[in-house]
Amino acid sequence: MAGQTIRLNRFIAQAGVCSRRKADFHIDSGDVKVNGQKVYELGVKVDPDRDRVEFQGKHIQVNSEKLYLAFYKPRHVVTTLHDPEDRPCIGDYLKKMKTRVYPVGRLDWDSEGLLILTNDGDYSERVLSPKGAVPKTYKVKISQSLTENQIGKLQRGVSIEGGGRVRVDTIRRLKPPKGDTKVGRSMSTDAQWVEVIISEGKNRQIRKMFEKLRIDVQKLQRVAIGRLKIGTLKPGELRPLNERQVRMSLQGLEEQPQRHFRKTKIQRRTRK
């Protein structure tokens, strides 16, 4: 007797391969087989209990145990599990992992900071969905001080190549971190640190927005997703997330952590 069927892209996401959006790309590219036959139709459904699904030649199955990890992506690391150009990638840090996970969203080559790794496709979609508007917080070092007029432009929105009109949710000036070169404020042309919060997350959005103002981004670090902060995590480190932290990563900054919620089973990573 056939079980409950689900869309193929959701099956791939629940197997911990990639997000549903990325799964559609792989289906369209011919990377997926169902019962030995390549499938190109995006809306096809499969029975997880009866159908055999292969991704790039490997048999994949839905994971019943969900895993959530916070990862500090270092600079000059590609946000992929494999890189055809043999550059350092996230997969290099996951070689001892028994459960297959993938990054939720991405940070570009020159950026660093908080990423969440998971095998939960539904969770990934909630974080990335424009409807959910999960805010991401960044500390950004720019080549010169912002004027009030420039701050206003970023808040009202600017048009960027490949991303349409985008805006920051909030932006504020920061004191430079300890050990950083002294930066100027107000009218000087010295570098400045700012905190930027966005909910849209278009490709290289923050860099392109500052480029529009003819300002270079010298350093970009993501420090929070929702209410989940990077904390004391160091570059290259992984940390398992508990239920409360997973919930916090889905919350807007104006929301308070929930005291009561339905329990979900979270798999913890144990050290040997």
- C-alpha distances in angstroms, 62 versus 51, 120, 132, 134? 11, 10, 25, 26
Contacts of 155 (CB under 8 A, 6+ apart): 167, 168, 170, 171
CB 214 within 8 A of CB 224: no
Q: How confident is the model at residue 152 (pLDDT cuts 50, 70, 90)?
A: very high
Choice between 64 and 25, residue whose per-residue pLDDT is larger? 25
pLDDT tens digits for range 51-95? 999 999 989 888 778 999 999 999 999 999 999 999 999 999 999
Per-residue pLDDT, 183: 45
Q: Is 108 a catalytic residue?
A: yes
Please tell me the pTM assigned to this model.
0.77
Per-residue pLDDT, 254: 60
Options 51, 108, 120, 122, the catalytic residue? 108
Closest CA to 210 of 151, 259, 260, 265: 151
Domains annotated on the chain, with CATH: 6-60 (3.10.290.10), 66-130+227-267 (3.30.70.580), 136-223 (3.30.2350.10)
**H helices of 107-147, where?**
121-128
In whole angstroms, what is the distance from residue 215 CA to residue 158 CA? 14
Six token digits for residue 34: 């169902």
Closest CA to 72 of 194, 254, 221: 221
Indicate whether 255 pLDDT > 80: no
Six token digits for residue 123: 């969770």
In whole angstroms, what is the distance from residue 11 CA to residue 5 CA? 9
Choice between 268 and 214, residue whose per-residue pLDDT is larger? 214
Indicate whether 225 pLDDT > 70: yes
Looking at every residue in the chain, the average pLDDT score rounds to 87
In whole angstroms, what is the distance from residue 160 CA to residue 42 CA? 30
Indicate whether 116 pLDDT > 80: yes
